[in-house]
Amino acid sequence: MMNNIFSDNLKKFRLAKGLTQEQVAEKLNINSQTVSRWECGTSLPDVLTLPELAKLYEVTVDDFYKKSTVAYNNYAQRLASVFEDTHDIEDFMRADAEFKKLIKNNSLTTYDMWEYGMIHYFLMHYGKENAFYWFDKVLEQGESADEFAYWKTRTQRMKLCSQLGKDEENIKEQQKIVGNNPGNVNERDLLLAAYMYAGRYEEAYEEFKKAVIKFPDKWELYIDGGDISVKLGKYDEAMEYYDKAGEIGSFFCDELYCKASLYEKLGEYEKSVELYMKIADILRQRGYDVEADMAEKSADEVKSKIKE
């Protein structure tokens, strides 16, 4: 029975590709009688030939053994269907590589474009589910397991919720948490983030003013205050807050990145480049070569604006 399914699929896939037995034999460097025997079920391809056949017919090896299998227009479409079923990132990457080949060869059809868009849609959907799953795993372990990871996760989870249109839920939930934990500066910081993600910068600014009175030595608050001030067009004030964060001592040249970005926004490109190069020097001295390279790349991008 299995041989019948296999041989029937061989013939179906060959016809779907518009190939004769002779053409298949030529491509595989065998004789046409061999192809005929495969399709009649009197013999089987060896294990080394199966992948070549699958590639030729633009299917997977597993497709040869399935009772109900569709003959796809190309291998990219077949791999797209595999990814839709498995949700496996490796299957996405295989499908993505095949679609890119079609793009490079200028042979992407309208249907292929739709399929290519769909696998990215599915990737986004599965990625969102996985993000929430693992974020929640971190939060289940609590702050004591890894304080840095815990608060980073809280922030990123809130940002993801914001991107999904849940700004009001974020703000209400965080307001309640702050009300129950008025002495926790990290919760105040998250409330500022909730306001900023929602684009409610005036309220964020007022909350920031209250927060720095209660927690004057928290550098993260001053970074937030600077970012909020930028959104409100208070550029001089923003620079003062960034400088204050630097005086206290930021984690990863945060205030320098912010100032470099603001100088670029204001068209003061030379100052922006100078700061990016300063960041690169600091990071390289600390052993962060990749991050230093990224800072230098930012400097080069700003330099190109000077030439313009």
The pLDDT assigned to 3 comes to 67
pTM, entire model: 0.73
Query: Domain 252-308 class?
Result: mainly alpha
- Given a cut of 50, the residues of the chain with pLDDT beneath it are 1-2
CA dihedral 39, 41, 47, 50 (to 10 degrees): 20
The pLDDT assigned to 68 comes to 66
Query: Among 74, 81, 25, 77, which Cα is nearest to 49's?
Result: 25
Residue range 181-228, pLDDT digits in tens: 999 999 999 999 999 999 999 999 999 999 999 999 999 999 999 999
* 3-state class (DSSP) for residue 249: coil
E strand intervals along the chain: none
Domain chopping of the chain, boundaries: 1-71, 252-308
Choose which CATH entry (1.10.10.10, 3.30.930.10, 1.10.260.40, 3.40.50.620) describes domain 1-71.
1.10.260.40
Q: At residue 32, what are phi and psi to the nearest 5 degrees? A: -65, -25
The pLDDT assigned to 241 comes to 98
Residue 16 in contact with residue 57, Cβ under 8 Å? Answer: yes
Q: Which of left, alpha, beta for 69 (phi over 0: left; psi -120 to 50: alpha)?
A: beta
Residue 41 in contact with residue 9, Cβ under 8 Å? Answer: no
**Helix residue ranges, H only, the chain:** 2-16, 21-28, 32-40, 49-57, 75-86, 89-104, 110-141, 147-163, 167-180, 185-197, 201-214, 219-231, 235-248, 254-265, 269-285, 289-307
